[in-house]
A = this chain, B = another copy of it.
Amino acid sequence: MTNPPAHLATLLVSCPDRKGLVASLAQTLYGHGANILDADQHTDLLAGMFFQRIRFDLSSLTTDRVALEAAIREVAGRFGMSWRLAWGHERKRVAILVSRYDHCLYDLLLRHRAGELDCDVAVVLSNHGELAPIAAQFGIPFQQHRAKDEATIQAHLDDARVDTIVLARYMQILSPAFVARWPARIINIHHSFLPAFMGADPYRRAYERGVKLVGATAHYVTDELDEGPIIEQAVVRCTHRDTIDDLVRKGRDLEKVVLAQAVRWHLQDRVLVYAGKTVVLE
């Protein structure tokens, strides 16, 4: 609920599984005076891959951040780790992209104001002007671009020093070239239980198929539409009485909750991607 304390840091690693990984990392952190608060790990035995998230307290560090980072780099090199280190004093900067639906935008901005999302919302970008007043109401800069004008989008992202892009029911498809610049950093909400009803108009198709549950899926964007690694999903019950409008209404509640959960986990550096899937560490 509160800001992430500046004296905390989070380390995320993934690598081929080997003996001594856990001990080496723990020993390295301990040796520098860092106190491990949380550690969650996962070994995918089939893939032979190891994943770990360690959150630790820097306040009694006996060396300094530079030395600690160098030591982690050394261990990582030895074990062939991919890794990233997030310092508590560096808040992530988020851009929210929208079109005309306002429910996810409102929801994210209200949660941000309530302290649920630990980031700076740097800018709201849209291919329409309609939602500008909502951004204004929360004091967030709003920038409009023409459809498909990704150069302008990128310029706005650069200007606002954005790390993470949230597509809050943004109705444009981003090009593979654009997506390639933001690997595992663009979060989309799709209004179905993927892989069911990929593509356009999922509520109408769910209605026509007569399903008894409708869903929503938050995923990282890749260059294959609706095929990116799934971060979170949820469903809600429906019946033959529900019209398409009812499914849209029920779905809105799901979309908001599922997208916010995925964004929160991403901001907390809990999500690792491999083999087209996510590992969400506690």
Interface centre among A37, A197, A229 (most CB of B within 10 A): A37
A194 to B37, CA, bound (A): 31
Known contacts A23-B27, A30-B19; is-contact A277 B210 (Cβ 8 Å) = yes
Given known A27-B26, A193-B193, contact A210–B278 (CB-CB < 8 A): yes
**What CA separation (Å) do A45 and B40 show in the bound complex?**
17
Whether A229 touches B213, Cβ cut-off 8 Å, given contacts A38-B42, A39-B22, A240-B278, is no
- Min CB distance, A19 to chain B, in Å? 4
If the complex has contacts A30-B20, A36-B23, A249-B116, are A232 and B212 also in contact, measured as CB distance less than 8 A?
Answer: yes
Question: Is B43 within 8 A of A37, CB to CB?
Answer: yes
B19 touches A282 (CB 8 A): no
* A71 touches B (CB below 8 Å): no
In the docked arrangement, what's the CA distance between A237 and B280, Å?
A: 13
B240:A280 contact, CB within 8 angstroms: yes
A residues 203-245 near B (Cβ < 8 Å) are 208-213, 215, 229-235, 237, 239-241, 243, 245
Q: Is the CB of A241 within 8 A of B42?
A: yes
Cα-based distance from A36 to B41 in the complex (angstroms): 10
Contacts of A31 in B (CB 8 A): 23
A194 with B213, Cβ < 8 A, contacts A30-B23, A137-B137 known: no
Report the interface size class on chain A: 35 or more
Q: Does A66 contact B (CB under 8 A)?
A: no
Q: Is the pair B229, A210 in contact by a Cβ cutoff of 8 Å?
A: yes
Partner of A22, one of B26, B46, B232: B26
State whether the Cβ of A279 lies closer than 8 Å to any Cβ in chain B. yes
Given A22-B39, A280-B240 in contact, is the A211-B194 Cβ separation under 8 Å? yes
- Is the C-beta of A96 less than 8 angstroms from some C-beta in chain B? no
Copies of the chain in the assembly: 4
* Selected contact of A241 from candidates B60, B114, B234, B282, CB within 8 Å: B282
A48 within 8 A of B: no
Contact with B along A31-67 (1 / 0, CB 8 A): 1010111111111111000000000000010000000
A278 to B23 Cα, complex, angstroms: 27
Residues on B with beta carbons closer than 8 Å to the beta carbon of A196? 193-196
A residues whose Cβ falls under 8 Å from a Cβ of B: 1, 19-23, 26-27, 29-31, 33, 35-46, 60, 103, 106, 110, 114, 116, 137, 193-197, 208-213, 215, 229-235, 237, 239-241, 243, 245, 248-249, 252-253, 257, 275-280, 282
12 A-B contacts, Cβ less than 8 Å apart? A20-B30, A23-B23, A23-B30, A23-B36, A37-B43, A38-B42, A42-B241, A45-B243, A106-B110, A194-B209, A210-B275, A240-B277
